Amino acid sequence: MKQLILVRHAKSDWGDEGLKDIDRPLAPRGNSDAYIMSEWFQKKHEIPDLIISSDATRALSTAMIFARAMAYPTNDITILQQVYESTAKTLKDVVVQIDDRHQSAMIFCHNPGITNLANELTDDLSFDEVPTCAIVALEFNVKNWKDIASKKAKVLYHHFPKEFK
């Protein structure tokens, strides 16, 4: 069994129009949501074997908040440029290349890729839009990451920050 935990980055700050999109930091609400969601995750679930993040500031900041809450070494976060502004296909390509020694992986990414990937991988439910700092956990009945397939994942849980406010 393989478990994939998709996390959309927390709410970003649009206050500085001079910043490039990739450099936008988290908004105060984004920081708050990341702490709330990471603390919930840490209390309810096992630490993933692998954390992968987009190289965008907002995604990496969200990943680091989660990593610290779980006592996952922040230096061990795998930062992949191709996760930034990726399509569902690119995200799936990242997933199928995960080393099979990892039973669980958490990926911090962006919309619309995260929504499209979640919808592609499962028939359990369909998301209109995965909101910022939402967590969607999927399970695959496979031994190798390369064997994950469309519509074959079981949704283990999905939680949005508004549920905890």
Run of H or E including 157: strand 154-159
Q: Is pLDDT above 80 for 30?
A: yes
Report if residue 8 sits inside a domain: yes
Domain holding 60, by residue range, is 2-12+22-164
Write out pLDDT tens, residues 100-129: 999 999 999 999 999 999 999 999 889 999
Report if residue 151 sits inside a domain: yes
CB 54 within 8 A of CB 110: yes
Q: Is pLDDT above 90 for 165?
A: no
Report if residue 45 sits inside a domain: yes
Report if residue 17 sits inside a domain: no
For residue 25 the two structure tokens come to 């930091």
Report if residue 35 sits inside a domain: yes
What is the pLDDT confidence band of residue 15, given thresholds at 50, 70 and 90? confident
> Strands 135-140 and 2-8, how do they pair?
antiparallel
Read off the pTM. 0.96
Degrees (nearest 5) of the Cα angle 161, 56, 73? 75
Report if residue 46 sits inside a domain: yes
- Mean pLDDT to the nearest integer, 68-84: 97
Q: Cα torsion at 104, 124, 136, 150 (round to 10°)?
A: 60
* pLDDT for 84: 96
Q: What is the CATH number of the domain that holds 48?
A: 3.40.50.1240
Which residues lie below 8 Å from residue 60, measured CB to CB, with a gap of 6+? 53, 54, 77, 79, 108
Tell me the pLDDT of the chain averaged across its residues. 96
Report if residue 93 sits inside a domain: yes
Output b/e per residue, 27-55; b: 16+ Cβ within 10 A: beebbbbbbbbbebbbeebeebbbbbbbe
Secondary structure letter of residue 12 according to DSSP: B
Run of H or E including 98: none
Which residues lie below 8 Å from residue 78, measured CB to CB, with a gap of 6+? 50, 51, 52, 53
Number of domains in the chain: 1
Report if residue 65 sits inside a domain: yes
Match 């919808």 to its residue by tokens: 119
CB 157 within 8 A of CB 138: no
